């Protein structure tokens, strides 16, 4: 009799433990989804070329990875400078990256990540902003880095849109290559019809607003 009671008690205890384990799993899953939803946000790092935008992006992604988050670095496929599957700064810092052609591709690639860094966002069309909103709605922390003004000093539409929806905007400056003051503009030194001409040192220079205006007519920019 005592042995039978012990068996019944053991079975009941096992049943209770299994039930609690299932409940705990459900609770953890719900909490994880909730926490991820709360963490979704859009951050924009913008400014002229050579202002350290990509360096800042790589630093944030590195810190997030060290903190155990699933991190994804993304770059436009048209940006073939330095390395095709890497994001690389002008001074050689680099991280592995996925190249995407269009914003739909970005949405598919980014759904499983917790933190996404998108470099050279001005290469994308304005629809990128909507994709960033969707990803943030899924709980993803989206960090965008890109040039805010083109070689005519006109804002890129996608940056304008991102600035209005971003939770945080960081505007960096470079050093004017003419006078050494704070540079907010980018001077293009090579010719080209397209608004986007892929290039780095030698193709572009950072300029303050005064030096940018002074040299605009002479170069035909």
Q: Give the whole-angstrom CA distance, residue 213 versus residue 111.
A: 43
What region, left, alpha or beta, does residue 75 occupy, with left being phi > 0 and alpha being psi -120 to 50 degrees? beta
Residue closer to Zn ion by CB (options 149, 211) is 211
Among 8, 35, 179, 201, binds Zn ion (CB under 5 A): 179
The 8-class DSSP code of residue 149 comes to: B
Among 126, 169, 170, 178, binds Zn ion (CB under 5 A): 178
122: which residues sit within 8 A by CB, 6+ positions away? 146, 147, 148, 150, 156, 158, 159, 196
Residue closer to Zn ion by CB (options 115, 176) is 176
Structure tokens at 140: 């993803």
Among 110, 176, 186, 188, binds Zn ion (CB under 5 A): 176
Sign of CA dihedral 108, 105, 197, 194: negative
Residue closer to Zn ion by CB (options 165, 179) is 179
Residue of 43, 63, 114, 120 with catalytic role: 120
Q: How far is the CB of 209 from Zn ion (least distance, A)?
A: 8
Q: How far is the CB of 66 from Zn ion (least distance, A)?
A: 38
Determine, following the binding rule CB under 5 A, whether residue 211 of this chain makes contact with Zn ion.
yes
205 among known catalytic residues:
no
Give the total of residues touching Zn ion (CB under 5 A). 6
* φ, ψ at 60 (rounded to 5°): -65, -45
Q: Which one of 49-57, 154-162, 193-201, 208-216 is the stretch in contact with Zn ion (CB under 5 A)?
A: 208-216
Determine, following the binding rule CB under 5 A, whether residue 216 of this chain makes contact with Zn ion.
no
Residue in 51, 28, 33 with CA at minimum distance from that of residue 207: 51
Q: Give the whole-angstrom CA distance, residue 206 versus residue 171.
A: 14
Determine, following the binding rule CB under 5 A, whether residue 208 of this chain makes contact with Zn ion.
yes
Enumerate binding residues for Zn ion (CB under 5 A): 176, 178-179, 181, 208, 211
Catalytically active residues are 120
């Amino acid at each position: 009799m005592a042995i039978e009671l012990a068996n019944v008690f053991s079975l009941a205890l096992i049943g209770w433990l299994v039930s609690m384990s299932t409940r705990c799993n459900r609770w953890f899953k719900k909490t994880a989804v909730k926490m991820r939803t709360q963490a979704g946000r859009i951050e924009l790092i913008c400014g002229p070329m050579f202002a350290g935008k990509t360096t800042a992006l790589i630093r944030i992604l590195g810190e997030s990875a060290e903190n155990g988050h699933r991190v994804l670095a993304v770059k436009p496929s048209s940006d073939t400078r330095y390395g095709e599957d890497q994001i690389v700064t002008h001074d050689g810092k680099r991280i592995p990256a996925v190249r995407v052609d269009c914003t739909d591709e970005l949405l598919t690639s980014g759904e499983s990540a917790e933190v996404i860094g998108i470099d050279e966002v001005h290469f994308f069309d304005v629809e990128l902003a909507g994709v960033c909103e969707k990803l943030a709605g899924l709980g993803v922390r989206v960090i965008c880095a890109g040039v805010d003004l083109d070689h005519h000093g006109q804002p890129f539409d996608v940056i304008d849109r991102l600035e209005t929806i971003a939770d945080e905007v960081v505007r960096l400056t470079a050093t004017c290559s003419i006078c050494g003051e704070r540079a907010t503009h980018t001077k293009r030194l090579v010719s080209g019809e397209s608004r986007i001409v892929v290039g780095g040192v030698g193709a572009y220079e950072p300029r303050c607003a005064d030096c940018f205006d002074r040299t605009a007519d002479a170069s035909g920019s």
